[in-house]
């Protein structure tokens, strides 16, 4: 008995809508984090990630909006920015309003 496996690579399919796309919200949140990091801490992405106990690569993924973060991660980042979670979300919303 022979079993054939077909692997579908969505990234290699230019006309395919199955490619993973960043959500607009994740991108907006990521940009806001980047701006807040620079404004409030003046730290590089790598230094801030270390301060927060987050991997440098994962911080980059968050700031580019390539992944949505958990509420626990949002709290970790807010704490790293010396903000409450409420202050953090308010600041993210204010960044959105400035961008529009």
The closest alpha carbon to 43, from 32, 54, 30, 34, belongs to 34
Long-range contacts of 56-60 (CB under 8 A, 24+ apart): none
**Cβ atoms of 48 and 59 closer than 8 Å:** yes
What is the Cβ-side half-sphere exposure of residue 1, based on CA atoms within 13 angstroms?
1
* Arithmetic mean of pLDDT over the chain: 82
> Residue 95: pLDDT band by 50, 70, 90 thresholds?
confident
Structural domains in the chain, CATH included, are 22-99 (1.10.260.40)
Average pLDDT over residues 24-35: 93
Res. 43: pLDDT tops 50: yes
HEC states along 33-63? HHHHHHHHHCCCHHHHHHHHCCCHHHHHHHH
């Amino acid at each position: 008995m022979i079993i054939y496996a077909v692997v579908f690579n969505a990234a290699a399919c230019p006309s395919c809508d199955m490619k993973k796309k960043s959500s607009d919200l994740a991108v907006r949140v990521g940009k806001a984090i980047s701006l807040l990091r620079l404004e409030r801490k003046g730290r590089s992405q790598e230094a801030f990630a270390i301060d927060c106990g987050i991997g440098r690569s994962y911080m980059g993924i968050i700031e580019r909006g390539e992944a949505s973060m958990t509420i626990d991660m949002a709290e970790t980042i807010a704490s790293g920015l010396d903000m409450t979670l409420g202050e953090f979300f308010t600041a993210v919303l204010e960044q959105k309003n400035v961008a529009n």
